[in-house]
Chains A and B, each alone.
Chain A
Amino acid sequence: MLSYLVTRLAQAVVVVFAMSVIVFVGVFAIGNPIDVMIDPGATQEIRQQMIEKYGFDQPLYVQYWTFLENVFQGDMGTSLVYNIPVIELVFSRFPATLELVLVAVGIAAVIGIPAGLWAGYRPESKSAKLIMALSVLGFSVPTFWIGMLLIMGFAVELGVLPSGGRGDVGSFLGISTSLATADGWSHIILPAINLSLFKMGLLIRLTRAGMVEAMSMDYVRFARAQGLPDNQIVFSHILRNISIPIVTVFGLELGSTLAFAVVTESVFTWPGVGKLIIDSIMQLDRPVMVSYLVLVVILFVFINLAVDLIYAWLDPRVRLKGGA
C-alpha cells in the first residue's frame, strides 16, 4: 500500500516535469511573448529592456533552468499579463470552476446513475427507450448550443434565472463560494446543468450496459432464487459489481471538466480557470500556462489515486501494488 502511494507520487513528479518541458518548448515555438506584451509602438530600447527583464534573450534551456530554480524556491512566477503572482491568479479563479464542476458532476451522477439502472433493469420498457434516446442527445448535441438555448429559455424568455456571472459569493467554512448564497445557486444552476448533460449521457449508457450484463449473471439469479426482492438485488448485489467502470469514467470526467470547462464558462461568463487558460494561451502568458497545467496534472494524479483506492474498496480482488 505504501509502496503503491510512493510509486504513484513519483509518477506524478515525472509527469509534471515532462509536461513543463513540453509547455516551455511549445510556447517557444508559437512565438515571442514580448510581441504580445508591449505596445507595438514602443522603442527598440524599451523592447530590449523588457526582453532582458524577463530573460527572453537567454537560450531556452537557461530560461527553463531559471524557472526550475524559482519553482524550488516556491515561486511559480508572475503573470506577464496581469503582473500578479500566478499562484494567486490561478487560485482566485479555481474555486469558481471547482464549485461549478462539482455541482455539474453531482447532477450527472444523481440523475444519470439511477436512470441508467432503470434503463438496464427494464430495457424493453418505453421509459427506458426514452432515457436512451435522451442520453444520445446529451452527448451528441454541442454544449455551447444547449447553453445558449438554456439562456434563451430560462433567462430571456422566462426571466427566472440569470444569464451569466457568478452571483453573490458567501463564505462557508472559510471558503468563499457561491454555493453559500441563494443568489449564487440561481447563477450556478444553468451552467451546471449545461455542463452535466454530456456526463449524464455517458453515465446513463455506462450504467445501463453494466446493468444489462449483470442481470443475466448467475449471482443475480442465485440472489433471486433466495427470494431477495429486486430492489435489494439491484442495490446490494449489482450496483457494487458494476461500479468500477462508472467510477473510472466519473473520475476522468471530473478531472477533464475541472481542467477544460471552458466552453460553458465562456457561454455563461463564469469567472473560472477555463477562461483564464484560454486567455493566457492567446497572450502567450507562459507562467500562467505552466502553473495551470501543473495544477491540472496534480488534480488528475489525485483523482486517479482516489479512483484506484475506491476500486480496491469496491472489489476485494483488486490489490494495490507498487511498481506497475
Chain B
Amino acid sequence: MTAALEVRGLTTQFETRGGVVTAVNNVSFKVEPGKVLGLVGESGSGKSVTGFSIMGLIDNPGRVTAGEIFVHGVDMRKLSATEQRQMRGRDIAMVFQDPMMTLNPVLRIGDQMAMAVRVHEKTTKRAAWDRARAALEIVGIPSAGERLWAYPHQLSGGMRQRVAIATALLHQPAVILADEPTTALDVSIQGQILAEVRRLADETNTAIVWVTHDLAVISSFADDIAVMYAGRIVETGTAEEVIANPRHPYTRGLIESVPSLHQAGEKLPQIPGATPQLSKLPQGCPFRPRCNVANQACLGEPPAHDLSGRRVVCHRPLEAAA
C-alpha cells in the first residue's frame, strides 16, 4: 500500500542575519491511510515548520532546501507551482493552531468554504454551499445550514476549529496536517475534537499528522509518534511503545514531565535547561547539554539505530525496559 504521506530527508532553512538556520533537519517519516501520526516536540523544535514545509507554505526568508514529499506517491517538490497549489486543499490539507485567526473575519462561513470547494471543482455556488453544509455536519456542528450564514465572530473557538477542520475535509484529502489545533481550546472541547478526528481518520481513511507539544494528548490518540528536537526527529515508533518504553533520553524526559503520570505531591521531574537556539546548536548531539546520560561520545553526530520498528537517533539509547 502506498503511504498517504511519506517525507524523506526534508530540510528547511531560513536565511537570517546571523547566518543560515536549519529549522527542519533531514526529517523523514511516513503515515499510512487512516493512521494518526503524532509529531511531538517543544516550542521551537521545528514541528510547525515541518508542517508548513510539507504544505509548500514556507515564505521568505525560509526555503525547503532538500528532501522529497510524497503525497499518495506523488512527489510534491517535483511539481510546478500551479500543480502544487492544485494539490493543496485537494490532496493534502492543513488545520492551524489558532481558530480565532484562521477564518476570514469579514466573509460568511459558507462563502469561505464554497470558495475552497470551487477552487478544485467546477460546481455551482449552490452545490458548493451544499457540500460545505455536509462537511459541517460531518464534524458535528449542529444546525449546519444556519452556521453557513454566520460570520466567524459569531461562533465559539471550538466551533471555528470545527469549521476549519470541515474546510480541510471538503475534498477528502489523503492527508490532513493538524498544527496544534486544540491548544487554544478548552479541555472539554479538545476531547470532543480529538474524538471527532480519530473517528474521521478511521471512517474516511484519511491520514493525519497531529503536531503537538502535548504528549499526554497524543499518547491516547495517535497510532505512531515521532519526537522532534532542534529540527530533527530523534525517535519514532508506535505510540504504545514510545510511551511505555522510550529509548531516547529526551523522549523519556518529556514523558516524565507529564503531570498526569505522577502522584499528587510528588516532585515533577524536569528536563534541565531550555530548547537551544537553532542558530547556536551545541556541537554533536543537540540534546547533549541537557541530557543526563551524555558523555564524551555525544560530541560527535548521533547515529541512527533501527530497533525492531523503532528508530532512535542517539549515541547512548536507553535500554529497553524488561
Chain A interface residues toward B at CB < 8 A: 124, 216-219, 221-229, 232, 236-237, 240-241, 314-317
Contact = CB atoms under 8 A, between A and B. Distances in A.
A236 B105 contact: no
Interface stretch (B20-28, B94-102, B189-197, B232-240): B94-102
A314 B106 contact: yes
A232 B107 CA distance: 14
A316 B85 CA distance: 30
B89 A219 contact: no
Given A218-B102, A240-B106, A240-B107, A228 B57 contact: no
Contacts of B88: 224-227
B89 A227 contact: yes
B87 interface: yes
A236 B93 CA distance: 20
Contact of B119 (A124, A228, A315): A228
A30 B55 CA distance: 70
Given A224-B57, A226-B88, A227-B116, 6 more contacts: A219-B102, A222-B167, A229-B119, A236-B115, A240-B107, A317-B151
A227 B173 CA distance: 12
Contacts of A217: 101
B120 interface: yes
A241 B152 CA distance: 13
B87 A218 contact: no
| Max count, chain A CB within 10 A of own CB: residue among B98, B106, B167 | B106
B230 interface: no
A219 B107 CA distance: 11
Contacts of A241: 104-106
Interface string B18-55: 00000000000000000000000000000000000001
Contact of A237 (B86, B94, B104, B120): B104
Contacts of B119: 226-229, 232
B310 interface: no
Contact of A222 (B87, B106, B153, B164): B164
Contacts of A225: 55, 57, 88-89, 93-94, 96
Nearest to A219: B104
A157 B164 CA distance: 62
B96 A218 contact: yes
Contacts of B167: 222, 226
A227 B90 contact: yes
B136 interface: no
B49 to A, nearest CB: 13
Nearest to A229: B85
Interface residues on B, range: 20 to 34
Which 9 pairs between the two chains have the least Cβ-Cβ distance? A227-B89, A218-B101, A226-B89, A227-B88, A226-B116, A316-B151, A225-B94, A219-B104, A222-B102
B111 to A, nearest CB: 8
A106 B6 CA distance: 53
Contacts of A226: 88-89, 93, 115-116, 119, 167
B103 interface: yes
Residues of A contacting B: mostly: helix
A241 B164 CA distance: 19
Contacts of A224: 57, 85, 88
Nearest to B164: A222
Given A225-B88, A316-B151, A219 B93 contact: no
Nearest to B51: A225
Given A228-B119, A236-B115, A317-B151, A223 B104 contact: yes
A227 B57 CA distance: 10
Contacts of B55: 225
| Max count, chain B CB within 10 A of own CB: residue among A216, A218, A241 | A218
Contacts of B115: 223, 226, 228, 232, 236
20 contacts: A218-B96, A218-B102, A222-B96, A222-B102, A223-B104, A225-B55, A225-B57, A226-B88, A226-B115, A226-B116, A227-B88, A227-B119, A228-B115, A229-B85, A232-B115, A232-B119, A314-B106, A316-B106, A316-B153, A317-B105
A226 B85 CA distance: 8
Contacts of A227: 85-90, 116, 119-120
B189 to A, nearest CB: 19
B105 A228 contact: no
A174 B117 CA distance: 48
Contact of B57 (A221, A240, A316): A221
| Max count, chain B CB within 10 A of own CB: residue among A224, A227, A228 | A227
Contacts of B164: 222
Contacts of A315: 105-106
A223 B153 CA distance: 18
